[in-house]
Amino acid sequence: MTTTFRLLGATALTLIAAAASAQTEIRFTHSMTSGGNAAAMDAIVAAFEEANPDITVRQITFDDDVYSDTGLITQLQSNEVPDIYFQWAGFPLARDVEAGYAMNLSEAMADGWADTFIDSAFSSGAGTTVDGDIYMVPLSLDVTNTIWYNTAILEEYDLEAPETWDEFLTVIGTLAEAGETPIVTGNNELWPLGNWASHVAARVVPMADFDAAFRQEKTFADAGFRRPLELMQELHEAGAFNRDMQGLGADPAMAAFFQEAAVMHPIGSWLVGSAGEMAEEGFAYSQFDTPVIDDAAEAPRSAIGTLTGLVVHAQSANPDAAITFLEFLSSPEMQTIWAEGGALSPVAGVEAEIDPQLQAMSDLLANADAMVPPPDTTYPVPVAEAYYQAAAYAASGEKTAEGALTWLDETVAAMGQQ
């Protein structure tokens, strides 16, 4: 009896061990450690594991700063790489592809999966593709610039949100003549105005030329950047900006908008999250995208934004299971959970109960005819910042558009000589 029991016990242990070894574990590293996004991801992982009992998802998390500085690269180069990792679209993803970290997902997404996302998710400016191949499953979107406005002040002057650039200049002129500050921006770090100026440029410069200029394959003059700098100069001449824009910080500028010291504020979708802390109760605001400058342009109704997503490591031990999880994550049902956690979903047709202002951002992205990447996340940062400075010169009146363009090309040319 004792011998039989021992044999049965050994058999049971063998079966248990076999079952355990049959369990597939996906290693998933990211920086969602708190708030609505973390709770939403936990809920999605739990639902996936319930629907796929043979697969478990092990989340390996880092704080944002640690993840960006050392956490991700340590994981990517480790002996036990993650199957899935969180990454920013654009330059970071392209760098991963070149280094051999990112798996080509084009074949996996060729069965209609890619078609479930909004049209701009895989556009040339979205940064989710490299040389036409898909390397990222889009997860979240951020509009990096739209024009927020105080609805009560516009109504006071019987004005409406402009749809064209000429209408925009008329609104600015009316407000300036009435003694209002039409637009407040805090540009001491260059990117707040620079992001918007880049979007303005992308509305009038063909994307191939836009890309070539920032890659230093063409001069900005040859690429057609005189016109966007002229538009910045037009804003200055119309009295659009606060006089201290060059010395003011981004947060004080946003506070000034919420304190009704200015009528409009061009900045990203994160303003919505700051409204609860900075705005008085009852403060009414809305937004409009950069007005159409030229209806005949390549993408007259583009949006400027950053896209983040998930990448399958090229050396993943379980690529099929990783792709199964990513397909599950991007299903409409799971994306509803994700959106209600406070994210802008890149999946088409997701209906979720979210803040009306975030819904407006979602609609803006869904209706955009292209996604424009912020240059400082997509191209060499010194080149991006040179354009940001040139735009600031034109918008502040420190240089004419022609002078700013000459300075820009001379500055970028000097970079190539270093």
**CATH code for the domain of 366:** 3.40.190.10
Q: Which residue has the tokens 């949006």?
A: 303
Alpha helices for 134-249 (secondary structure H): 151-156, 165-177, 191-204, 207-214, 220-223, 226-237
Q: Is it the case that residue 358 has pLDDT exceeding 90?
A: no
The pairing of beta strand 146-150 with beta strand 264-267: antiparallel
Per-residue model confidence as pLDDT tens digits over 190-239 = 999 999 999 999 999 999 999 999 999 999 999 999 999 999 999 999 99
pLDDT score for 363: 84
Domain count, the chain: 2
- Say yes or no: 55 and 74 in one domain: yes
- Say yes or no: 206 and 79 in one domain: no
Q: Is it the case that residue 249 has pLDDT exceeding 50?
A: yes
Closest to 289 (Cα-Cα) out of 279, 299, 298, 280: 299
Domain that holds residue 399: 146-303+374-416
Q: Is it the case that residue 55 has pLDDT exceeding 60?
A: yes
Q: Is it the case that residue 54 has pLDDT exceeding 60?
A: yes
- Say yes or no: 71 and 196 in one domain: no
Q: Is it the case that residue 287 has pLDDT exceeding 60?
A: yes
pLDDT score for 379: 87
Q: Is it the case that residue 403 has pLDDT exceeding 50?
A: yes
Q: Is it the case that residue 64 has pLDDT exceeding 80?
A: no
- Say yes or no: 198 and 210 in one domain: yes
- Say yes or no: 406 and 289 in one domain: yes
pLDDT band, very low/low/confident/very high, at 6 (cuts 50, 70, 90): very low
Rounded CA-CA distance 80/84 in Å is: 12
Mean pLDDT of 265-286: 89
Rounded CA-CA distance 11/15 in Å is: 6
- Say yes or no: 177 and 226 in one domain: yes
- Say yes or no: 8 and 67 in one domain: yes
- Say yes or no: 172 and 201 in one domain: yes
Of the listed ranges 77-81, 162-166, 230-234, the least confidently predicted one is: 77-81
Q: Is it the case that residue 184 has pLDDT exceeding 80?
A: yes
Mean pLDDT of 338-366: 84
pLDDT score for 9: 54
Let me know the angle formed at the C-alpha of 90 by 89 and 93, rounded to the nearest 5 degrees. Answer: 65
pTM score, whole prediction: 0.76
pLDDT band, very low/low/confident/very high, at 20 (cuts 50, 70, 90): very low
Mean pLDDT of 105-113: 96
pLDDT score for 243: 95
pLDDT score for 322: 98
Mean pLDDT of 279-288: 93
pLDDT band, very low/low/confident/very high, at 307 (cuts 50, 70, 90): confident
- Say yes or no: 240 and 295 in one domain: yes
Q: Is it the case that residue 2 has pLDDT exceeding 80?
A: no
pLDDT band, very low/low/confident/very high, at 371 (cuts 50, 70, 90): confident
- Say yes or no: 80 and 225 in one domain: no
Q: Is it the case that residue 60 has pLDDT exceeding 60?
A: yes
Q: Is it the case that residue 320 has pLDDT exceeding 50?
A: yes
- Say yes or no: 386 and 238 in one domain: yes
Q: Of residues 233 and 418, which shows the higher confidence score?
A: 233
Mean pLDDT of 334-341: 92
pLDDT score for 1: 47
- Say yes or no: 181 and 103 in one domain: no
Closest to 368 (Cα-Cα) out of 288, 299, 295, 271: 299
